[in-house]
Structures are given as structure tokens and as C-alpha cells.
Amino acid sequence: MSSEVIPTRTVRRPPARATRVVQADVCVLGAGISGVTAALEAAKLGRKVVIVDGAPALGGQAIGSIIGTLIGLYTHGPNPYQLTHGIADDLLRDLAAEGSLRRLHRSTVTFQYDEVRLARWMERKVEEAGVQTLLGAVLTDVSFANRRVQYLDFATRFGAVRVQATGYVDASGDATLCYEAGLEVREPDAPIYGSMNFLIEGYDTETVAQMDIVEVRERLARKGAEYGLVRHDGWLMHFPGRNFMLANITHFETPIDPLATARMVFEGRRQADRTLRFLQTEYPHIFANARVRAYGNPGLRQTRWIQSRRPLTLEDIRAGTRFEDAVARCAWWVELHNTAELVHWEQFKDGHVYYIPLSCMLPAEADNIVAAGRCVDADSHALSAIRVMGPCIAMGTAAAHALDLAGAGSLHAVDLASLQKRLRDNLDRTD
Ligand SMILES: Cc1cc2nc3c(=O)[nH]c(=O)nc-3n(C[C@H](O)[C@H](O)[C@H](O)COP(=O)(O)OP(=O)(O)OC[C@H]3O[C@@H](n4cnc5c(N)ncnc54)[C@H](O)[C@@H]3O)c2cc1C
């Protein structure tokens, strides 16, 4: 090792703060599964893309909140088929090939994924696609005039950045772009609960096969309060080969308030620790030596979403209405976390499919913003079904194509026949 002292220089911040300006065709705010999909698809279409996230890594909740299971990509029942293709195909193929994805087919097809590997997959894909990536950048201002976003301003640890683009994707999960632009947005008037997922290790990987989740839930309902637990249902999912178990079993309120974030972290971790104590005490033959390996970030389900000209409704998804501006399909059930104790489920019959229209992704008051993911416009029940990751991928794909067709014009006037032709795999394939 060299003992030579590294020379230093003295600097002072210039009196006028410099703002770095980044220009692109498409700016995606939010690097969760919806935003990453939109960015990759827009890059495939030859667009210059910048993706921005306040977190220091890509992935949003899919990675940071350790969601661990990809749902909503298939129809339900004994003969399921895949509803969303394109980037979903790449993701399934690549992660399965390296053993980081496990397909399960019970009443529906779900995929357990290794969130560490999915994060690396996203990073590799975004780099290969030439997407400019701005991380650790929190939106501070939106310049909005004549129904168009002109630019977005961000604060980073290392100075201010301005992003100017022709079109924008609000994939922030909380409709932050639209809210900061001064547009009308929707918020639920009653709590829709979030959860902190966490990983458990050190349990007995042989006897865990005897664990019956239905019995665990019954015991939680009878005895959970003794341990300070509020939720009576939820999931404990062992990932064979990894020897970790994913727990999605907590519930807490998720107000959009700057000081609430820390409270959610503390409450989520407290509930996780209490769950572990419950498992150790009630099922010592499996959990006597178990520990929490990792806590996810607070998982937010339905916090704030855009106001479009027409929200998707529960009636629409029950009826399977195929809208004239349909851009994505889904089959996931209503899964509304509207009480602390239990999730409200409404299951559809096997093979039922419903559609997501472009109109519920477009804020009524803007021409160059399209939302994708958990902040599109729907009533509470319909949103609880389409916010899962399968339809998030489908919406991200549709958002990229809609912006590509709109160019400098209005998203409300894109040629729907051309758009649907591009999206036909996600609308019509049944193989
Ligand atoms: C506990 C829980 C369990 C779930 N379980 C499943 C499951 O098993 N399977 C499944 O498929 N789905 C599940 N879901 C749903 C699904 O995970 C999410 O709805 C989906 O991941 C949302 O993706 P998104 O891209 O829309 O948003 P997000 O993943 O929330 O991404 C939004 C991104 O925007 C960024 N952002 C927001 N505001 C700003 C700002 N002002 N400045 C800069 N960046 C900003 C955030 O940092 C974040 O990275 C679950 C959700 C939760 C909460």
C-alpha cells in the first residue's frame, strides 16, 4: 500500500447554485416495476429516456419492500394463460434461468422471486437499454402550463437537477407528479392498510412443511391480540433453497405525511418482531431459533392516485368490460386491505378477464402525463385488483407506447387503433 499522501484542493460552493439540466423524450418518475417497465419499453421504441427515483436504487416496492411474489400475470383456474408479455416474458425467462424465480400453480399462477436478483436484473436491463438513471433524486417542483409539464425539478445530495422532456410517466405510486403539478388527485377517505414485509431465517426448514397457514391464521385470530398483533390473515412463504421465509402479515395505516414515514417504519418493525415472538411461542418446533433477517421498507398499497376523466370501477372489472381504449388486461381479484384485521377478497370465476382503459391512466387536466402502476384512477375496489405487479408491467408498457404515439401532441388524442395494434399481445393472446 502506498504511503504517499493524497493531495487535496479547497473548494467552496459557488454563490449562484448551479442546476444540472437533463433532456429527454420521456421522463419516468418512479423506478418501481411500473416505471422500470415504461422506461425499458420507451427505450426499445428508440426514445431518449430518463428514469428518476428518490430512493438510492431501482426497484420501488418490488425490491425495497421485499414484495417477493409476482401476481396478476395469469388468468385463474385449471387452464391459465399469460395476460401480459413483452418485458414480463424477459423477466420470467431470465430469472427462471438463473434459479431466482419459482412458479407456483394453485388456484392461480404466482411467481416467488429473489428480490436481490430482480434488482440486479433491472439495473442490467436499464443500463443495456441506455436509459439515463437519476437516483436519490426527490421531486421538489413541477413546472406546468398549458396542460403540459414543462420540466421537473429534483433535489439530490449533490445538487439540483432539472429534467425537461416531451412526455412524462407518473409511476410514483402516490401520483406525486400530478399532485405537485397542481392537478386534482384522489385520496381514500378511510384507511387502506399497508404492510411491512420481512424475511425470517433460522427456522427449521424440514418441519416448516407441516405449517398450515390456515391454522396459523385461526390462531392469530384467537391469540394474536395477546402478542399485540392486529392482523389475522396474511402469508408466511418459505422459498425452498433460499431458506428464508417471507412474511406479509402486518397492517398499519399509511398516511401521506412527511412525519408518518418514520412512524410506519417503527410500527412495521414492531409488528414484525411481535409476529416472530408469536411464531416462536406457538410453533417452537419450527421457529424456536428463528430471527428476522431483513425488514422491508413500509409497503404502501393505495395512498393517492390521479383523477382521470373516468375511473375504472368495480362494476367494470366484474363485468369484464372491454373498453374501446383498452390497453391492458388483468384477472387478479379484489384484494382490499380496508380493515386492520382482515383483507376483503372478491374472487372472480375461473378464466375471468377484465381490461384497463387508457383513459384511467390519463389525468384529465394534462396532455403529456400518463400514469402507470398503483396510482392510476380507479375506485378503491378496482384499484386493489389492478395495483399488483402483473398489471403494473402491462400499464408501464402501455404508457410507453401511448407517449411514443402522442409525441408532442396530446395523450388524449392518440390513435387508439395503432396503440392497440402495438399492444395486441397484452390484449388478445391466449396461449
Ligand atoms: C405489502 C405489500 C404486499 C404486496 N404483495 C404483492 C404481491 O405479492 N404480488 C404483487 O404482484 N404485488 C403485490 N403488491 C402490490 C405491488 O407490489 C405494488 O402495487 C407495486 O409494486 C407498485 O409498483 P409501482 O411501480 O406502481 O410503485 P412503487 O413500487 O411504489 O414505486 C414508486 C417509486 O416512485 C418513487 N417516488 C415516489 N415519490 C417520489 C418523489 N417525490 N420523488 C422521487 N421519487 C419518488 C418511489 O421512491 C418508488 O420507488 C403488494 C404491495 C404491498 C404494499
Does residue 9 belong to any structural domain of this protein?
no
Q: Indicate if 64 and 89 belong to the same structural domain.
A: yes
Cell of 314: 368495480
For ligand 1, say whether the CB of 163 is within 6 Å of any of its atoms.
no
Which ligand 1 atom lies nearest to the CA of residue 172?
34
Which ligand 1 atom lies nearest to the CA of residue 55?
47
The residue type of 389 is M
Does residue 11 belong to any structural domain of this protein?
no
Domain of residue 166 covers 19-188+304-334+345-428
Which ligand 1 atom lies nearest to the CA of residue 69?
8
Count how many domains the chain has.
Answer: 2
DSSP state of 325: T
Q: Indicate if 123 and 33 belong to the same structural domain.
A: yes
Alpha carbon nearest to ligand 1 atom 38, residue? 172
For ligand 1, say whether the CB of 363 is within 6 Å of any of its atoms.
no
Alpha carbon nearest to ligand 1 atom 22, residue? 374
pLDDT in tens, 262-282: 999 999 999 999 999 999 999
The CA 300 to ligand 1 mean position distance, Å, reads 7
b/e code 223-257 from CB counts within 10 Å (16+ = b)? ebeebebbbbbbbbbbbeebebbbbbbbbbebeee
The CA 413 to ligand 1 mean position distance, Å, reads 29
CB 344 within 8 A of CB 378: no
Does residue 10 belong to any structural domain of this protein?
no
The CA 393 to ligand 1 mean position distance, Å, reads 12
DSSP state of 349: P
Cell of 143: 413546472
Does residue 6 belong to any structural domain of this protein?
no
Does residue 13 belong to any structural domain of this protein?
no
Strand runs (DSSP E) across 244-296, as ranges?
244-248, 291-295
Which ligand 1 atom lies nearest to the CA of residue 248?
1
Q: What is the CATH number of the domain that holds 181?
A: 3.50.50.60
pLDDT in tens, 152-171: 999 999 999 999 999 999 99
pTM for the model = 0.98
Q: Which residue is listed with cell 412526455? A: 167
Q: Indicate if 83 and 138 belong to the same structural domain.
A: yes
pLDDT averages per 10-residue partition of the chain, 431 residues: 90 90 98 99 98 98 97 96 98 97 92 96 98 98 98 97 98 98 98 98 94 96 97 92 92 96 97 98 97 98 98 98 97 98 96 98 98 98 98 99 98 98 98 95
Q: Which residue is listed with cell 414515514? A: 261
Does residue 339 belong to any structural domain of this protein?
no
Q: Indicate if 250 and 177 belong to the same structural domain.
A: no
The CA 127 to ligand 1 mean position distance, Å, reads 21
Q: Indicate if 266 and 316 belong to the same structural domain.
A: no
Q: Indicate if 54 and 159 belong to the same structural domain.
A: yes
Does residue 193 belong to any structural domain of this protein?
no
CB 175 within 8 A of CB 169: no
170: which strand partners? 29, 371
The CA 61 to ligand 1 mean position distance, Å, reads 4
Q: Indicate if 287 and 313 belong to the same structural domain.
A: no
